[in-house]
Copies of this chain bind each other. A is one copy, B any other.
């Protein structure tokens, strides 16, 4: 059972305050991930850094939520997916994507991917391209604050996607009751590299 967390009457200013506390931490951990993959310092330094990190983790764990972050909803309708691995501002795994909705109902996003997302040398892992496109198509297929979850998605890889500045976008092609059909694509500096199409379905609890 997919269960959202109702956090009640939290004012927007308090949400902003929480964001200002925790977002910079995740940004620092993203840098650490990149350094962890690329470092060539000696064994003694690595061991010392590891001890520092374990100490940092222990301090953070002194008070933490049970289980994963979930998706938290305020009484005034804000939805905080801060733990999400694609858009979560508190999840160091996420680039994170900032998704904009255009006037004609499409979604677009520009972002950067480095060492942490590498599959073939110098290129984005095909599964990471799938992760991004699944999310972007799901986002455009959502109906206001009612999610639609992926039913089926197909990805066509035209060529390898280079690491660096990337762009993804998606649009709805058709809505048929509880189903929305969406298409999208991922591009690097040389143009479109991956195309996607999918069917997204409203879960039972989110149907009207």
Contact = CB atoms under 8 A, between A and B. Distances in A.
Contacts of A120: 2, 71, 147, 149
Given A46-B21, A154-B154, A63 B86 contact: no
A98 interface: no
A61 B85 contact: no
A38 B68 contact: yes
A21 B48 contact: no
Nearest to A4: B121
B130 A116 contact: no
Classify chain A: how many residues form its interface, as a range. Answer: 35 or more
Interface in A92-144: 92-93, 114-123, 125-128, 130-135, 138
Given A67-B122, A70-B121, A151-B157, 12 more contacts: A21-B46, A33-B92, A38-B65, A40-B64, A45-B60, A49-B60, A69-B115, A85-B117, A85-B118, A127-B138, A130-B131, A130-B153
